[in-house]
Amino acid sequence: MTGDPFASMLAPMFAQLRDQNLWRRREVRSSPQAPSVQMDRETLLSFASNDYLGLANDPRLVEAFCQGARRYGVGAGASHLLGGHTRAHHELEEALAAFAGTPRALLFSTGYMANLALLTTLCPRHGQIFEDRRNHASLLDAAGLAQGDRRRYRDVGGLRRALDAAAPGGLVVSDGVFSMDGDMADVPALLALAKAHGAGLVLDDAHAFGVVGPEGRGTPAAYGLGYDPALVHMGTLGKAFGVFGAFVASSADVVEALIQRARPYIYTTALPPAVAVCAQAGLALAIAEEHRRVELAERIRQFRTGAAQIGLRVLPSSTPIQPVVLGDAARALGASRFLRERGIYVPAVRPPTVPKGSARLRVTFSAAHSRDDVERLLGALSALPGDVV
């Protein structure tokens, strides 16, 4: 046989995705992250980034990155355990532990890798994992890779029933702020249930750190919770902090277990030291510049007030993630195209990222957005054709 075997294998999948309006397309951005971006040679007002505090192109972070590169070069050159762990990494971990209020913190290249490391290290084979159905894909994949006994729940009541029906122990796993719906998990209830069952709580706070709670210290801090060794906290550095990377903040034992056993930590090159230098600068700015969180909260309130006035179905959320639910994928794509024609970039989010029948515009806000930016978005949304809304 001759020819391309992959073409024939993949053709049915490609056809199905296109038929169901689920084909994904990358946009090419040629400008820094900002409210106004150059996307595929167009200038667009963007409501699509996770740059919640508007730090991704801050000149001070650019300079910090350059200084880090001048001191350490552009690559770590090795894994953390084989000579790639620099003073920059170490100081960032210490700063992140202090920020999260935990004894230790450990750096990872991505949140995906951090979540894979956590569940495969902390859950023994066939151990119990209780996971929220709306968890980020990285947590769902991590539970599968851990080969745990997975039990899914929809809410706190569902978790209580699942725990009551199971043997003691295990891991309760949840997003802190759900990435597609934007609402916050009831962390005090999750933690209390986990501890009563002899389980630990793994919390992915990627969309909360820098934004939610006093000084942006995350969802536990927003609920007034202090350090608890039963809680393992994961956060990312590429959203509110404007840079790249991820971290786990927890007890000394959990961090040491990850260093000793976590394959996504042991068997990968360390984050570039210049990124660590830049991330520490971003963390310091996020803590110090409270006005960014104030501005962001104002833009969110402005949008929600305006959306209610024009009758949009926006899910309950006080965070920068404001989902406008439209139903099927074709409708969401149509709404995204309508906005694009008016110079506004809001991608459509479709299954399997969200459940079938809940395709949406995932509107995200930044402290860098102005009142006029939000009014322009609301004006365009108010003009959506009836067959879309």
Structure tokens at 249: 């903040």
Candidates 173, 152, 134, 156; CA nearest to 321 is 134
| DSSP notation for 210-262 | TTSSGGG--HHHHTT----TTEEEEEESSSTTSS--EEEEE-HHHHHHHHHH-
Beta-carbon neighbour count of residue 78 at 10 Å?
12
Structure tokens at 104: 């230790």
Rounded to whole angstroms, how far apart are CA atoms 132 and 138? 12
Are 226 and 88 contacting, i.e. CB atoms less than 8 angstroms apart? no
| Catalytic one of 207, 233, 251, 358 | 207
Give me 3's structure tokens: 């020819």
Among 57, 75, 54, 156, which Cα is nearest to 373's?
54
Tell me how far apart the alpha carbons of residues 88 and 278 are, in angstroms, rounded to a whole number: 9
| Active-site residue (options: 179, 317, 336, 358) | 179
**Backbone phi, psi, residue 57, to 5°:** -120, 25
The answer to whether residue 179 is catalytic is: yes
**Residue whose structure tokens are 């927890």:** 250
Active site residue 207: yes
CA 271 from chain center: how many Å?
18
How many Å apart are CA 314 and CA 326, to the nearest integer? Answer: 9
- Among residues 39, 88, 87, the alpha carbon closest in space to that of 65 is found at 88
Q: For residue 69, what are its two tokens? A: 């590169």
Q: What angle do CA 6, 11, 16 make, to 5 degrees?
A: 145
Contacts of residue 198, Cβ cutoff 8 Å, sequence gap at least 6: 168, 169
Active-site choice (197, 239, 251, 317): 239
Burial class (CB in 10 A: 0-12, 13-18, 19+), 355: exposed
Indicate which residues carry an active-site annotation. Answer: 179, 207, 239
